[in-house]
Amino acid sequence: MAAFCASGLAAGEKVMHVAPERLQDPVLSSLAETGHDVERLIELGRLEARPIDQIYRTEEDFDPPRQVETYREAIDAACSQGYSGLRVGADGTPLLGRADLTAYELRADLLASRSPYVALCAYDRRVCDQGTLTELESVHALRAHRAGPSYGPTFSIHGTDDGGIALGGEFDLVVRDQLRELLLVANEAVTSPTIDLSRLAFADLSSVRSIAEAAQGLSATTGEDVVLRDAPSVFRKIWQLAGFDAFAPSVVFRSGEAT
């Protein structure tokens, strides 16, 4: 979480960390340990540490549209103050069990798909049952967008039903760093060494390289081969021409549904 917040600070985004109060200190301490003057950042308004109950109200008062609207206003405010966007790292574990949580996440995801908004939503696996987790994943994309008032294509990185990740959309120089960063985040979260590329519309060489590096990292962590599923033919061609077969020998390409 601290690394995610630090990336936003480095990218000129306004960063908001939303979590139960007992979880605020470890993140802020971690930021301080990596050379950030946390007090000064908070004083300047670049960083906000908000208790989760202050943002999400009580269970009875949980209203997804209004909640999303709160974030939309925060994005607008951040942009008008000159930030390149808003980055929210939120530990949503206290929200588990709320009836409209999945709908809320979907709305938040849709907001993210059209705004300079990056959000990392954390849920504690120890208190989140598999069914809820799967449901949240089904609507939960980690999306990244071009910062600023005009941005073009989006890309998505989200979990798949089989525990891997899926990449969709277009990846180019603009989102190169975000891709690398999100793949690192994704690598820590996946339970299956599978990367679905069936919805990949475009990937430049630097993106193919990031995927190769992430796949190698994933393989090293899990000790298993990494499957790149339904890769477009041009992706495979670039992979082969650029020599990634030798660079990432534990990667296998597969087509069709997961077995």
Cβ partners under 8 Å of residue 143, min gap 6: 109, 112, 113, 118, 154, 155, 156, 157, 158
Residue 180 in contact with other proteins, rule: CB under 8 A: no
Tell which one of 48, 135, 172, 177 touches other proteins (CB under 8 A): 172
Q: Which lies closer to other proteins via its Cβ, residue 127 or residue 241?
A: 241
Residue 146 interacting with other proteins (CB under 8 A): yes
Which tokens go with 217?
Answer: 């990292």
85: left (phi over 0), alpha (psi -120 to 50) or beta: left
Pick 198 or 206: Cβ nearer other proteins: 206
Chain centroid offset of residue 123 CA? 13
Other C-beta atoms closer than 10 Å to the C-beta of 259 total 5
The yes or no reply on residue 71 touching other proteins (CB under 8 A) is no
Q: Does 16 bind other proteins (CB under 8 A)?
A: no
| Residue 127 DSSP one-character state | G
Q: Residue from 140, 145, 209, 229 that binds other proteins (CB under 8 A)? A: 209
Residue 220 interacts with other proteins (CB under 8 A): yes or no: no
Q: Does 244 help bind other proteins (rule: CB under 8 A)?
A: yes
Is residue 237 a contact point for other proteins (CB under 8 A)? yes
The rounded distance, in Å, linking the Cα atoms of 29 and 32 is 5
Closest CA to 84 of 112, 118, 35: 118
- The residue among 198, 200, 145, 148 whose CA lies nearest residue 175 is 145
By beta-carbon proximity to other proteins, the closer residue of 135 and 172 is 172
Residue of 174, 183, 226, 231 that binds other proteins (CB under 8 A): 174
**Could you say whether residue 238 binds other proteins (CB under 8 A)?**
yes
Does residue 232 interact with other proteins by CB under 8 A? yes
* Site residues (vs other proteins, CB under 8 A): 146, 148, 150-153, 170, 172-174, 202, 204-206, 209, 212, 232-234, 237-238, 241-244, 246-247
